[in-house]
Amino acid sequence: MATRLQEVDAVMVGMGWTGSIMARELTKAGLTVVGLERGGDIKPSEDFALPGVRDELKYSRRLELIQDPAIETLTFRHRPSESALPMRRFGSFLPGNSVGGAANHWGGHTWRYLPSDHVLRTHLTQRYGAKMIPEDMPIQDWAITYDELEPYYDKFEKLCGVSGKAGNLRGRKIDGGNVFEGPRNDEYPNPPMKTTLAGQMFAHAAKELGYHPFPRPASNSSQPYVNSEGLTLGGCQYCGFCERNGCEANAKAGPHVCVLPKLREEPKFTLRTRSWVSRLIYDKAARKVTGVVYTDTRTGEEFEQPAGIVVLSAYVFGNVSLLLHSGIGEPYDPASGKGAVGKNYCYQLSRMGVTLYFEDRNFNPFMGAPGAGIVMDDVNGDNFDHTGLGFVGGAIITCGHDGARPIDYRPVPPGTPRWGAAWKQATAKWYQRSLNISLSGSNYANRNHYLDLDPTYRDQLGRPLLRMTYNFVDNDYKLSEYCMQVAVKIAQAMKPNHMSPPRLRRGDYDIVPYQSTHNTGGTVMGTDPKTSVVNRYLQSWDAHNLFIMGASTYPQQVAYNPTGPLGAMTYWASEAIVNNYVKSPGPLVQA
């Protein structure tokens, strides 16, 4: 029997970005909040300190900051007709594992989604007609427009100290910024990062060809910065150890730098680490959750934490699996198309690009940061005419070294052996003299791509593992071909001595090589409870005191990294809770 604890106003399930921001906003409004985190705590001054933080083997290869699959993983299959197998090691994506979540090891790319991304189905239908969208592609509008979310995007950027350059200030297009972005009310809080040589060369070639390159917006603070919480970020050191590592300079935004120092001082907030939530307690008749059940993994003891409001603020997979384990909502069935929980799981098209080799260049590839790269949006989203192309969506094309940690970064020209004397010669020669042009492509929903519970494999608590059914489809392959042609054109204009064959999206999804930790969907937002799990305030249709944060609420995934809207939506939802829900608990939107 679980020990029943005293009721609190709100409980957070997961203490990454969304749990930290939500807890901060709710305690500011006077609510008592408990933050439950399955992993341990992080003390940046010790855990992310020099010299140990510069350890490629520990962080990049042995995945120190990543969730332990022995505790909980997923099973995977390509199509509903197959039986799934467990992901025994994480590879293709890397969920976080402690207070701070995946923000401890992210690279910091911080985007606003395009206005058309927020109303995707409506936009494509209006521009091209309904027939443009394949029947097996259940893409949906977000339940909130770009204009509505703009002030909250701004708020999150000022929390993170995002470095970048505006390309659209209140409708005025600005050369050198992203001219395709939605109108911004304010500049980025920090100027763009210094650009690497690779980025400069790419920007020059892209501009000559008529494209619109701009510095990548990133939560790598380009200078010391005091954020909206009054907390100080350091200036980025371009160390080249950003993603998969912590940041010793406190220049990479994350809960530990941007929110938690304030939240930890808040008497109305209690943080409980090593507290693994196994299920929510659901009163279906009352359409409410009454609290959560969790195991203290230090003692093995089980507790019930009653709460007036429950916020699911885990990673995508934690949010979806907790609904399924708790019997909340109808699980999605691809055969009938009914049910919404687990529906519209999407990923991203990554590991696409081309490598260029220059005899006479010195890139110093180890000096870099995600924000030191250059991006172009010309073939992203619906920024270009798709008529007759046979696909929808697009890709961002990027260039610029964000580090060159040598176990993983050792480009050699095509035809070079992978070991031995010739390999050594080539590695020594080209480490300094090569660069990658990379593509990240959108990935729209497919009827057969979803998350449900596996019938065979279990986690450490004995619960069924979440099962992922997912593969690449025709739209992805065509998108990849089209956008790659543009990348290759730019690459050729850069006049390299050698060039690798283009790395296209071909064949089946492979869970082994890293691609992106930009998994989305499964608890998608919408206006219809039959096809969505939460309303525009991220409030569950099935339990009005349950709010679900994060990228699990995105109906499909774009080419950008998902963190920007995730932070913005948390601010947006917290405001709805504080201003409306707390005063008058009940559905904020009538179905």
Partner 1 sequence: MADDKLPRRKFLLGAGLAGTAVAAGLAPAEAQPPPATAAPSTTPASDPSTYLTLTASEVAFISAVADLMIPADELTPSGTDCGIVTFVDRQLAGAWGGGAKMYRAGPFRPAKPEYGYQLSLTPREFFAAGIAATNEWTRSTRGKDFDRLPAKDRDQALKDLEQGKAQLAGFDGKQFFEALLGITMEGFFADPIYGGNKDKVSWKMIGFPGLPAVYAHLIEEWRDKRYMVEPQSIADFS
Residues 6 or more apart whose CB falls under 8 angstroms from that of 174 comprise 165, 166, 167, 168
Binding positions for partner 1, 242-261, rule CB under 8 A: none
Select from 131, 421, 501, 584 the one that contacts partner 1 (CB under 8 A).
421
Could you tell me which stretch among 9-17, 156-164, 257-265, 424-432 binds partner 1 (CB under 8 A)? 424-432
Q: How far apart are CA 232 and CA 180, in angstroms?
A: 31
Smallest separation, CB 429 to partner 1 (Å): 9
Smallest separation, CB 164 to partner 1 (Å): 17
Contacts with partner 1, 340-379, as mask; x by CB under 8 A: ---------------------xxxx-xxx---x-------
Q: How far apart are CA 67 and CA 70, in angstroms?
A: 9
Q: Does residue number 237 form part of the binding site for partner 1 (CB under 8 A)? A: yes
Residue with tokens 């998902």: 562
Nearer to partner 1, 261 or 413 (CB): 413
Give me the DSSP letters along 343-397.
TT-B--EEEEEEEEE-TT----TTSB-GGGSEEE-TTSTTSS--TTTS----EEE
Q: Does residue number 435 form part of the binding site for partner 1 (CB under 8 A)? A: no
Select from 128, 384, 457, 477 the one that contacts partner 1 (CB under 8 A).
457
Q: How far apart are CA 553 and CA 319, in angstroms?
A: 10
Q: Does residue number 239 form part of the binding site for partner 1 (CB under 8 A)? A: yes
Helix/strand/coil percent split, the chain, to 5: 25, 25, 55
Please tell me whether residue 26 adopts helix, strand or coil conformation: helix
Q: Does residue number 298 form part of the binding site for partner 1 (CB under 8 A)? A: no
Could you tell me which stretch among 14-22, 193-201, 324-332, 518-526 binds partner 1 (CB under 8 A)? 193-201
Smallest separation, CB 439 to partner 1 (Å): 21
Q: How many residues bind partner 1 (CB under 8 A)?
A: 65
Select from 4, 43, 61, 338 the one that contacts partner 1 (CB under 8 A).
61
Nearer to partner 1, 130 or 407 (CB): 407
Smallest separation, CB 514 to partner 1 (Å): 12
Smallest separation, CB 49 to partner 1 (Å): 10
Contacts with partner 1, 499-528, as mask; x by CB under 8 A: ---------xxxxx----------------
Contacts with partner 1, 256-295, as mask; x by CB under 8 A: ----------------------------------------
Nearest CA to 237 among 253, 219, 249, 228? Answer: 249
Smallest separation, CB 272 to partner 1 (Å): 24
Cα-Cα-Cα-Cα dihedral sign, residues 456, 460, 464, 468:
negative
Cα-based distances in Å from 542 to 496, 581, 591: 57, 15, 11
Nearer to partner 1, 191 or 586 (CB): 191
Nearer to partner 1, 111 or 238 (CB): 238
Nearest CA to 165 among 195, 196, 189? Answer: 189
Select from 40, 91, 134, 183 the one that contacts partner 1 (CB under 8 A).
91
Q: Does residue number 462 form part of the binding site for partner 1 (CB under 8 A)? A: no
Smallest separation, CB 424 to partner 1 (Å): 5
Are 439 and 351 contacting, i.e. CB atoms less than 8 angstroms apart?
no
Select from 28, 121, 194, 478 the one that contacts partner 1 (CB under 8 A).
194
Could you tell me which stretch among 22-30, 237-245, 343-351, 571-579 binds partner 1 (CB under 8 A)? 237-245
Inter-axis angle of helices 474-493 and 197-208, nearest 10: 100
Could you tell me which stretch among 56-64, 109-117, 255-263, 342-350 binds partner 1 (CB under 8 A)? 56-64
Are 196 and 356 contacting, i.e. CB atoms less than 8 angstroms apart?
no
Q: How far apart are CA 49 and CA 43, in angstroms?
A: 10
Q: Residue 575 has which token pair?
A: 């405001």
* Catalytic residue flag (residue 518): yes
Please tell me whether residue 436 adopts helix, strand or coil conformation: strand
Q: Which three-class secondary structure string do you get for 168-192?
A: EECCEECCCCCCCCCCECCCCCECC
Select from 236, 395, 435, 568 the one that contacts partner 1 (CB under 8 A).
236
Given the residues 109, 118, 518, 544, the one annotated as active site: 518
Q: Does residue number 420 form part of the binding site for partner 1 (CB under 8 A)? A: yes
- Which of 83-91's residues contact partners 24+ apart within 8 Å by CB, and which partners? 83/456, 84/454, 84/456, 84/457, 84/467, 84/468, 84/469, 86/457, 86/465, 87/511, 90/63, 90/66, 91/511, 91/512, 91/513, 91/514
21-46: burial string, b at 16+ Cβ within 10 Å, e else? bbbbbbbebebbbbbbbbbebbebee
Q: Does residue number 425 form part of the binding site for partner 1 (CB under 8 A)? A: yes
Residues 6 or more apart whose CB falls under 8 angstroms from that of 28 comprise none
Q: Applying CB under 8 A, which residues contact partner 1? A: 50-52, 54-57, 61-63, 66, 68-70, 73, 76, 78, 85-91, 194, 196-197, 200, 235-241, 361-364, 366-368, 372, 404, 406-407, 410, 418-421, 424-425, 427-428, 431-432, 456-458, 508-512
* Active site residue ranges: 518
